[in-house]
Amino acid sequence: MSTTEDFRARAHELIVDLDTATSEMMKLVSDHQLCGPEWERVTKWQHEAHEKWMAYLNERNYPG
């Protein structure tokens, strides 16, 4: 794989995880489940997925 392909593959992997976590969070919001163990699990997942995404984008070693 080229550097660009590597970047895209990893970016895709991270954004899919972030999108999935956010979707799960929104499902809980629509079900009015804003507390409890499932809420805690999903908000932690979404937060960590966002942190990983931002850290990856801020590495600045991706092809320009």
Task: Name the more confident of 2 and 56.
Answer: 56
Burial class (CB in 10 A: 0-12, 13-18, 19+), 17: middle
Please count the structural domains in the chain: 1
> The whole model's pTM is what?
0.86
Residue 63 maps to a domain = no
CA distance 14 to 63: 17
Answer whether residue 2 shows pLDDT above 80.
no
Q: Which domain holds residue 38?
A: 3-58
Residue 64 maps to a domain = no
Q: What pLDDT does residue 3 have? A: 85
**b/e per residue, 38-56, with b = 16+ CB within 10 A?**
eeeebeebbeebeeebeeb
Q: What pLDDT does residue 17 have? A: 98
Distance, CA of 44 to chain centre: 11
The tens digit of pLDDT for each residue in 28-64 reads 999 999 999 999 999 999 999 999 999 998 986 666 5
